[in-house]
Structure 1
């Protein structure tokens, strides 16, 4: 039976109200030892403790020990809910209902990124339900916020079960036609959040896709889809991540930062990706009803071996480039400017329904 334990993680100023508020933490605990801690700040998943093949517990997601850590490193979005629209919007502009929409250009004053200056990652969410297996958060995004039209109400239900499944169901409704594409940016290392790049290179990754969204040097989609067969981007079968990272290290981006196009039914949650750490036996499977999986490898974290200033996380751990991975379920980036992509447009009364399940477990270690 899952238990839900609440405590106060810290105090922060809510950017939507400019008032000081408590940041609440809810820890979901299973009888098998797995636990997940979720913050009202940004809807952040702050820790995920998972047993290995020998029942040894490790925290497998990156994060910080206090509110100051999250504010200090906000640009990395670690563990947070991303929205209204995840990823990039070219020039921060698009056309909707014959109107030109201008969004905040919060990245290099050139394009809109991950919801703008005050996205879903930096607000303090309201708690609207505490359940036997989880919690439900809510945020009301006002009309015109960061340039988006229409008031939007978002509810996120977090749940955990004894089978090791961490579920997020993200639902949203808008009062007028707008764009919604919400993501969850959890950074994982199944060997343990503090174990670094060497252990990440041991991971095996599978993504059930044979195309990625083609982008330019600014990571803005060109409108084309690029086949992955016979390229370093092919993870259609379980593949060693270290080998693939070594193949792309000389590309314009050192590492992976790509939207994979997966074949799913929006009314059905399907397996789209799997990651395994053979040395510990831990694995995670990603199940979703979304058509995209943005795969990234913490490329923006510092390279301490080249003299960069260390990035300090939970328990004093040093987080470095390629020390973790993210498999963020979403629709394609910049979809409002690419009508051939799955739509991110939501009309009044229409339900935005994003489901993702992270199924954690452990299999026998390889000898």
Structure 2
């Protein structure tokens, strides 16, 4: 039986109301000891504790111990919900219903990233339901916020079950035609959130996708889908992350930060990715109804070996470059500017329905 508990994580000024609000933390816990903690700040996944093959629990999700940590390191988006539109929008512009829409350009004054200056990651979500296996958070995004037309109501249901499945279901409806492409930026290291690059390189990863979206030097999609076969980006079978990163050390992003194109229909929830840490036995599977998954290997975190200022996380952990990974389920980046990509336009009365299940477990130790 799953237990749902609540505690107070801190206080913060709600950017939507300019009033001080409490940040609530909900922890979902199974009888086997696995737990997931979610904050109302940014609908953020703050902790995921998973046993290894010996039953030893470790927190495998990067994050911070207090509100100040999240504000101080907002640029990392650890565990946060991203929206209205995750990822990049070229030049912060697109055409909708024949009209030019201009969004805020919150990254290098060049393009729009992860919903703008005050995206879904920065707002304090309302709690609209507490259930036997989780809870539901809600945010109402006003018409014109960060440049997006139409008021949008978003509900996110977080749930956990005894088989190790952590589910997220995101539903949204708009009062006017707009664009919606929501994701989550949880970063993981299955050896433990604080174990860094050495253990990340031990991971094995598989993504069921034969193509990625090609991008330019600013990581803006060109509109082309590129086959991964016979390239370092081929993850169609379980592959060692360390060996792959060696092959990518001279690429512009210094690792993985690519949208993989999965063969998934909106009415299906399919296995699209798997990660395994052989030394602990922990594994994670991603099941979703989204056609894209952004695989990222924390390339933008500090490189302390080169003198970068440390990023200090939970319990004093140092989070560094290539010390974690993320699987961000989504439709393709900059889809509103690429007619051939899966459509992210939502009309009044239409339901945006994004489902993803993170299934955690541990493989028996090999003799």
Per the shorter chain, which TM-score range? Answer: over 0.9
Residue in 2 that maps onto 1:348: 348
**Which aligned pairs between 1:119-268 and structure 2 lie closer than 5 A?**
119-268=119-268
- Work out the CA distance in 1 between the residues paired with 2:76 and 2:198: 21
**Which aligned pairs between 1:213-362 and structure 2 lie closer than 5 A?**
213-362=213-362
| Structure 1: unaligned runs, 5 residues or longer | none
- 1:366 deviation in Å? 3.8
Deviation track 1:193-235 (CA, whole Å, cap 9, x = no partner) reads 0000000000000000010000000000000001100100000
Q: TM-score under structure 1 normalisation?
A: 1.00
Deviation track 1:108-155 (CA, whole Å, cap 9, x = no partner) reads 000000000000000000000000000000000000000000000000
**Which aligned pairs between 1:33-182 and structure 2 lie closer than 5 A?**
33-182=33-182
Deviation track 1:292-318 (CA, whole Å, cap 9, x = no partner) reads 000000111000111111110000000
Q: Per the alignment, in what secondary structure is the counterpart of residue 230 of structure 1?
A: coil
- Work out the CA distance in 2 between the residues paired with 1:188 and 1:365: 21
Deviation track 1:31-77 (CA, whole Å, cap 9, x = no partner) reads 01000000000000000000000000000000000000000000110
Runs of 4+ residues over 4 Å off in structure 1: none
| 8 Å CA contact 1:169, 1:356 repeated in 2 | yes
- 1:243 deviation in Å? 0.3
Residue in 1 that maps onto 2:26: 26
| 8 Å CA contact 1:94, 1:100 repeated in 2 | yes
- 1:288 deviation in Å? 0.1
- Work out the CA distance in 2 between the residues paired with 1:123 and 1:7: 19
- 1:79 deviation in Å? 0.3
Residue in 1 that maps onto 2:365: 365
- Work out the CA distance in 2 between the residues paired with 1:74 and 1:354: 24
- Work out the CA distance in 2 between the residues paired with 1:64 and 1:344: 32
- 1:365 deviation in Å? 2.6
| 8 Å CA contact 1:150, 1:175 repeated in 2 | yes
- Work out the CA distance in 1 between the residues paired with 2:4 and 2:253: 41
Q: TM-score under structure 2 normalisation?
A: 1.00
Deviation track 1:312-355 (CA, whole Å, cap 9, x = no partner) reads 00000000000000000000000000010000000000000000
Number of residue pairs matched? 367
- Work out the CA distance in 2 between the residues paired with 1:93 and 1:265: 28
| 8 Å CA contact 1:279, 1:366 repeated in 2 | no
